[in-house]
């Protein structure tokens, strides 16, 4: 894809996703938040996350793909870090952990090979008291599965619904891939972290 077209389409997606943030997160509620944006791809969300939460927002955009790392450098994404979700090695705790359109399916793996319960459990080690986990998913089966995993780990689910705001997906030209961010789950850190 032509780089200029990519930047234009990224900007359109960022504008639409900023409406999603406005809908679910009150502007100014988070003061100088620390945010982890996982499976971020090329860290396309970096500009509007920094703008929306402003102040001295500290953002880490995490992905383990070499191609995404190269593209993130080309886009001058300062928050991008390459890392494996199963072997997180991060300093400090976060106010907000974001996963957009995560591929939350077991891919036919046995429960022993299914890494998502381990990933969500590991996140609790990096969540401040009252921290939020914000997920968007493209398929109902993934949405229901995420809800079940989070409930099993004692996350407190505060939002579980179809996204009311359509975010365009101009990168993949197939009907089944559109729209993105179709389901939303917001969960608070498990009670054990709040005591």
The domain total for the chain is 1
CATH value at residue 117: 3.40.50.150
* Residue 27 belongs to some domain of the structure: no
Residue 96 inside a domain? The answer is: yes
Residue 26 lies in a domain: no
Cis peptide before 179 (omega within 30 of 0): yes
Q: Mean pLDDT throughout 117-135?
A: 94
132 is a domain residue: yes
SS3 179: coil
- The verdict on residue 146 lying in a domain is yes
The reply to whether 73 falls in a domain is: yes
- Find the domain containing 128 and state its range: 3-19+32-85+92-104+113-194
> pTM to 2 decimals?
0.86
Phi and psi at residue 129, to the nearest 5°: -60, 135
Residue 27 has pLDDT above 80, yes or no: no
Instruction: Give kind and range of the element (H or E) at residue 58.
Output: strand 58-63
pLDDT digits (tens, 9 = 90+) for 38-54: 998 888 888 889 888 87
Spatial neighbors of 97 by CB under 8 A, at least 6 apart, are: 35, 36, 38, 123, 126, 127, 131, 132, 133, 134
* Under 8 Å between Cβ of 191 and 154: yes
pLDDT of residue 161: 94
């Amino acid at each position: 894809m032509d780089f200029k077209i990519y930047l234009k389409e990224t900007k359109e997606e960022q504008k639409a996703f900023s409406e999603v943030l406005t809908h679910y997160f009150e502007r100014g509620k988070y003061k100088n938040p620390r945010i982890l944006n996982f499976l971020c791809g090329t860290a396309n969300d970096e500009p509007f996350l920094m703008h929306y939460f402003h102040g001295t927002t500290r953002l880490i955009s995490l992905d383990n793909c070499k191609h995404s790392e190269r593209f993130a450098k080309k886009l001058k994404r300062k928050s991008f870090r390459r890392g494996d979700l199963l072997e997180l090695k991060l300093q400090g705790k976060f106010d907000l952990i974001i996963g957009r359109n995560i591929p939350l399916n077991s891919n036919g793996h046995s429960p022993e090979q299914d890494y998502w319960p381990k990933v969500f459990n590991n996140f609790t080690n990096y969540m401040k008291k009252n921290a939020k986990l914000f997920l968007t998913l493209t398929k109902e089966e993934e949405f229901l599965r995420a809800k079940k995993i989070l409930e099993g780990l004692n996350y407190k689910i505060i939002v579980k619904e179809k996204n009311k705001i359509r975010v365009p997906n101009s990168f993949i030209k197939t009907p089944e891939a559109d729209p993105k961010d179709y389901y939303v789950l917001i969960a608070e850190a498990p009670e054990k972290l709040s005591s």
